[in-house]
Amino acid sequence: MPNVSTPISNNQTKVHQPTLLTPLLDPAIGQFIRDHSQRLIELVSQHGSPLNLIWPHAFKANTAALQSVLKKYDVNHVIFYGAKANKSQCLLRAAEDLGIGVDVSSIHELNAARRAGTPGALLCATGPAKTAVFHRALVEAGSLICVDSLEEFAHLKALVKTMQVAVQARVLLRYRPQSCLASRFGMGTDDVLECLRQLTEEGEHFHFEGFHFHLGGYGYETRVQAFREVTAFVEAAHEMGLNPSMIDMGGGLPIRYVDPEIYNSFLQNDNKPGHYYNHSVPESFYPYGGSLTASQWLELFLESDHSSGRSIANYLKSRTLTLSLQPGRSLVDQAAISVFRVTRTKKLADNKTVIFVEGSSFSACETWFASEYLVDPILISATQSHRDPTQAYIAGHSCLDDDVISYRLINFEYLPQPGDLLIYANTAGYQMDLLENEFHRHPLPRRLMATCCTQGHYAFSPDC
């Protein structure tokens, strides 16, 4: 959307563009907000606030972009959508439509993926604390299981041996890279080698497929180093007579929420105590205006040197290995917006303004992690507001003093009024439903799936 302060009129409503941390918007979503703001007011009136609108076409575009890179480098690959990134069933159906897999972290996510039509063989479980019920369901479905420890390996072995029908558990071994030795996840070198030794004796009960690792952060360089470490186990497995076919590098591909130059300018010039209601600048933020897109990041990873001038892509091809990814958040980039209705504004003793919205920070959760969502909301005026430039922070409707959606003071050209809407863009990646609950017995936010009918016109149906 254009970075302007002049409101765009739409019948009886006006769309006010933020000018500091302007959100990047999918073109179709941006056009819908500009041209159909009255429709948004009607949807909130009908379904309540906050309201999450899901756009599966963005999911499909993100998947296609990553697949294009992998095909460009002629790398065998499999993509598993990390279901924990978002609870919308229509996104699981989008994954099934595309024929990609789903990374599930609980029996409940497994059941949701199966309801969406995902075959058991295209499910992968990477979480560390799998229950016996979850293990059994994964084995029975023929799903891939990332084994996190020797203890999990022993539990899985005992379970498989008790099953009435002879089956093999499909497994990857989760390695703990040198860069995260303090992590509780994954296995060190000795434990990985011990699992490999046991696998040479347990071929009847296990189908060994390779290795898994996962790192936090978004530096492709640390992922490259972890990949190099894992390939030493590939060679060790071959020496033991095993035949690994996959390296799973987990998730952690970046999303760009705002323009990088705008984001860097904010950090250098505006990220100061006086710009926050509580005068406290968070110590860390998600890289909302990162320099790389997910596709660019993946290209740099595949082109990186593995050994002796041979790229990672060439190493994978030389060993006939499949590269597996779980890019949960980056697959849902631009796949949802969250709409909050303003209940009232209030002038405080320090001459600051607070905007109360119908909904809570459990549905826009960064402040609960001592951080901030560095993307400005879009204001839709349902009333004939007069220009009244205002700085305000945004709070939820609960009785908790910490129920704050943004401590950061947002610049508004028009003071929001009761009934106006605040639209937060690009909330599908954990933002909209990571902490949502029924505090004060307020119902969980509704979510509607957008389906394009004609150019610029959408039908909305319950996500189920």
Q: Which amino acid is at 414?
A: Y
Those residues with Cβ within 8 angstroms of residue 406's Cβ, 6 or more apart along the chain or in another chain: 367, 372, 373, 393, 394
In the DSSP assignment, the letter for residue 416 is: -
The CATH code of the domain at 8-55+334-462 is 2.40.37.10
Gap between the Cα atoms of 41 and 48, Å rounded: 10
Q: How far is CA 391 from CA 37, 302, 388, 398, in A?
A: 23, 45, 10, 22
Host H or E run for residue 407? strand 404-414
Along the 464 residues of the chain, how does pLDDT read in single tens digits? 333 334 555 557 889 989 999 999 999 999 999 999 999 999 999 999 999 999 999 999 999 999 999 999 999 999 999 999 999 999 999 999 999 999 999 999 999 999 999 999 999 999 888 999 999 999 999 999 999 999 999 999 999 999 988 899 999 999 999 998 889 999 999 999 999 999 999 989 999 999 999 998 899 999 999 999 999 999 999 999 999 999 999 988 999 999 999 999 999 999 999 999 999 999 999 999 999 999 999 999 999 999 989 999 999 999 999 999 999 899 999 999 999 999 999 998 888 899 999 988 888 888 888 899 999 999 999 876 778 889 999 998 888 888 899 999 999 998 999 999 999 999 999 999 888 888 888 888 999 999 988 777 899 999 98
Gap between the Cα atoms of 339 and 235, Å rounded: 52
E strands of 19-95, at which residues? Answer: 51-54, 77-82
In the DSSP assignment, the letter for residue 23 is: B
Contact 202, 251 (CB under 8 A): no
Same fold, 8-55+334-462 and 57-256+292-328: no
Those residues with Cβ within 8 angstroms of residue 456's Cβ, 6 or more apart along the chain or in another chain: 28, 31, 32, 35, 36
| Class level of CATH domain 57-256+292-328 | alpha beta
Contact 171, 208 (CB under 8 A): yes
The pTM (predicted TM-score) of the whole model is 0.94
pLDDT tens for 109-159 read 999 999 999 999 999 999 888 999 999 999 999 999 999 999 999 999 999
pLDDT tens for 28-41 read 999 999 999 999 99
Among candidate residues 28, 71, 80, 48, the one with its CA nearest the CA of residue 326? 80
Contact 139, 163 (CB under 8 A): yes
Instruction: Give Cα 78 to chain centroid, integer Å.
Output: 18
Structure tokens at 43: 């949807």
Q: How do the domains of the chain map onto residue ranges?
A: 8-55+334-462, 57-256+292-328
Residue 436, SS3 per DSSP: coil
Instruction: Give Cα 150 to chain centroid, integer Å.
Output: 29
Angle (deg, nearest 10), helices 107-115 and 132-141? 30
